[in-house]
Amino acid sequence: MVAGLAAVCLLAVVVLAAVLVEDRGSSTTADPGLVGARTGEGAADEAPSYRSVRADGTLRPRAAKRVARARETYRRTADMLRFETGPRPWRKEWTPAQLAERKAARQARWERIRARKLAEKMQGEPFTMVVGSFNVLGSQHTAPGGERRRFPPASVRNGQAVGYIRGHGVDVLGTQELQDDQLRALQAMTGMAAYPGFAWGAAETDNSILWDPAKFEMLSGESYTITFVGRPRPQPIVKLRHKLTGQQFYVVNTHPSPGQGRALAERRSAQATTVGVVNRLKAEGIPVLLTGDMNDRQEFYCQVVGPAGMTTPQGGSYGNGCQPPGGHLAVDWVAGTGMTWSNYRMDTSPVARRVSDHFFISATAHVE
C-alpha cells in the first residue's frame, strides 16, 4: 500500500519535472524550446511560468534541489518496488505434497469446528437409531462334532452376518452365542465397538453388545447374573451417549435358558431378574433398550415387557391385562423404555440360508 502511494506521488513529480526540465544525465540545463518560448514573442506574458529557469537555460538552485530530491525519491521507490515483487528468500518454499497436507489439515480443523458447533446446537434434541438382535449361532455348533454340522463353518457365515448388519443399517446390536473368533471377525469387518467384548475373557464374549463408535461413545459397563443351562452367566449392561445430541441410554442384552422343566424355571427366574434390572436403570430417567434371544414369545411379553413398563415395535398392550402383539412372533426381541418404534423387520432369511438358526430382528427407535 505504501509503495503504491509513493509510486503515484513520484509519477506526479516526474511529470512536473518533465515540464520544467529535460533530464540529461547530471546536467541542469533547461529545455531549449522552453528558453525560446520564454525569450520569443509573448515572453513578457509567459515569463512568470519559467521563474525556475535562468536566461541561459539552467535551473536556479532551489529548482535544482527539487529535481535532485525527485530523482532520489524515484530511485528509492523503484528499488522498493523491485524488492516487494522480487524473490523473498526468508519465505519457506512449500512442495505440492506439503501444500496438500496443509490444506487437508485446515479442512479437518474446520470440520471439527463445524461438528462442535452442530453438537452444541443439537444437545438434548431427539434422535433415532436402528436397534437389532441376532443369535449368530456360535462357531462351536458348526465345527466338527457340533450339532449344526449341516451349517457352513463360522468362517463362511461371519461375512454373511456382517451383510445382515449392514443391510438392516443397524447402529446398536445385541448378539448371542458370539464366540471369540466370530467377535474378532465382526469387529474387523464392521469397525463396531463391543462390550464386554474381551473384557471378561475370551470365554465370555457370547452376549456382546455392538455399536457404531462414530455415533455413540461408551460411558460405563456393568453386568448382572442369571443361571443359564445350570451355571451362572454374566449379562452385559452398557451405558452409551449419542455423540451428536449428548443423550444417554442403557442397553441390556440377555440370553436365558431354552427348553422346559428346569430350564423353564431358570428362564422365569432370569426374566424376573431382568425386570428388576430394567426398573433400576430407568429410574435414572434415561431410556433403556433390551435385546436378546429370549427363548419365549408371548410369555416374554407378559413376563418382562409389561412388568418393566416397556414397549416393543410389534405393538401389544398390558394396561388391561396382558395382550401380546399379534401375528407370528420370534423368540428374538427388541424392547425399550423412553422411546417409540417404527420399521420393525423380522428377517427370516438367515435360517433359510443357513447363516444361523435364528432370525435377524431390527427396528428404528425414536428417542425424545
Dig out the grid coordinates for 307 from the structure: 412388568
State residue 186 phi and psi, 5-degree precision.
-65, -40
Quick check: is 174 in a domain? yes
Given a cut of 50, whether residue 35 has pLDDT beyond it is no
Which range (8-17, 83-92, 325-334) has the least confidence? 8-17
Q: Which of 29, 62, 85 is the last residue of a domain?
A: 85
| 49 and 126 in a common domain | no
- Whole-number pLDDT of residue 85: 52
For 181-223, write each residue's pLDDT tens digit.
999 999 999 999 999 999 999 999 999 999 999 999 999 999 9
pTM comes to 0.70
- CB count within 10 Å of CB 223 equals 18
Given a cut of 80, whether residue 284 has pLDDT beyond it is yes
Quick check: is 145 in a domain? yes
Given a cut of 80, whether residue 121 has pLDDT beyond it is no
Structural domain including 61 reads 2-85
Q: What is the CATH number of the domain that holds 320?
A: 3.60.10.10
| 126 and 79 in a common domain | no
Which range (37-46, 304-313, 349-358, 359-368) has the least confidence? 37-46
pLDDT more than 70, % of the chain: 82
> For the chain, first and last CA: distance in Å?
58
For 167-178, write each residue's pLDDT tens digit.
999 999 999 999
Given a cut of 80, whether residue 55 has pLDDT beyond it is no
| 64 and 14 in a common domain | yes
Closest CA to 131 of 51, 238, 57: 238
Given a cut of 90, whether residue 26 has pLDDT beyond it is no
Given a cut of 90, whether residue 288 has pLDDT beyond it is yes
Q: What is the DSSP letter of 202?
A: G
Given a cut of 70, whether residue 73 has pLDDT beyond it is yes
Q: Which of 37, 67, 85 is the last residue of a domain?
A: 85
Hey, is 164 helix, strand or coil?
A: helix
Burial (CB < 10 A; 0-12, 13-18, 19+), residue 18, is: exposed
Residues 6+ apart with CB under 8 A from 85: none
Quick check: is 125 in a domain? yes
CA distance 98 to 296: 61
Domain total for the chain?
2
| 301 and 202 in a common domain | yes
Residues 6+ apart with CB under 8 A from 227: 233, 257, 266, 269, 270
Quick check: is 267 in a domain? yes
Q: Which of 69, 85, 101 is the last residue of a domain?
A: 85
Quick check: is 306 in a domain? yes
Quick check: is 164 in a domain? yes
Quick check: is 96 in a domain? no
